[in-house]
Amino acid sequence: MSDLVVIVYPTEARAEEMRQKVISLQKDYLIEISDAAIAVMHEGGKIKLNQLLNTTAMGAASGGFWGLLIGAIFLMPVFGAAIGAASGALGGALTDYGVNDGFMKELSASLQPGNAALFVLINKMTGDKVLEAIKGTGGVVLKTSLDHTREQALRDALAATTTSPAATPAAPAAEGTGAPAPIG
């Protein structure tokens, strides 16, 4: 069973950065996702969906290929490719893969203009390693299908502050330690 996680970010660029981070975690086999889409609230209340997969383009490409192949059999390859691409694009546009588009638009209606929501549909994940990788990245959890314990761990990881070693002042060295002073 898949888990849904929706996190709101202040900008579309920040949401896209986090989507790329999740995709890189998938390449490291720490998480397996079915979908990762971004919904952005624009001025005037218009919601734009930025899908991971463009089903219309995929349908047009595969339809064009099959149309060309069938058209070549009947000595009309250009006509076959055009009909195949058009029907494939229509089929792809009507196909909804991953998170339901209507659900994303409905949930995103509560966003402030300029904000973006990252929708991630997770099949499997190594929880502790993924939480460590996204620690301190910010964002506000809007909705999840996780249990209360895992949801709270996600909220804590996003809100955690990370300190870099350079930002932490080093303790002063005790007298008489370290390299001897140069003579001379």
Domains of the chain (ranges, CATH numbers) = 3-53+98-159 (3.40.1520), 54-96 (no CATH)
Q: How far apart are CA 180 and CA 184, in angstroms?
A: 12
> In the chain, which residues have pLDDT < 50?
164-182, 184
Using alpha carbons only, what angle is made at residue 93 by residues 92 and 97, rounded to the nearest 5 degrees? Answer: 70
Alpha helices in 28-147 (DSSP H): 55-73, 77-94, 101-108, 127-133
Q: What is the pLDDT of residue 24?
A: 93
pTM: 0.66
Position 107 scores a pLDDT of: 83
Distance CA 75, CA 78 (A): 9
Question: Identity (one letter) of the amino acid at 160?
Answer: A
pLDDT, position 64:
61
**DSSP-derived 3-state class of residue 154:** helix
> Which pLDDT does position 136 carry in this prediction?
87
Q: What is the pLDDT of residue 178?
A: 46
| 3-state SS assignment for residue 135 | coil
Count of residues making up the chain: 184
Structure tokens at 83: 């009909």
Per-residue pLDDT tens over the stretch 125-176:
888 899 999 898 888 998 888 889 998 999 999 988 755 444 444 444 444 4
Any residues with CB less than 8 A from the CB of 113 and at least 6 apart, and which?
A: 41, 42, 43, 44, 45
Neighbours of 80 (CB within 10 A): 20
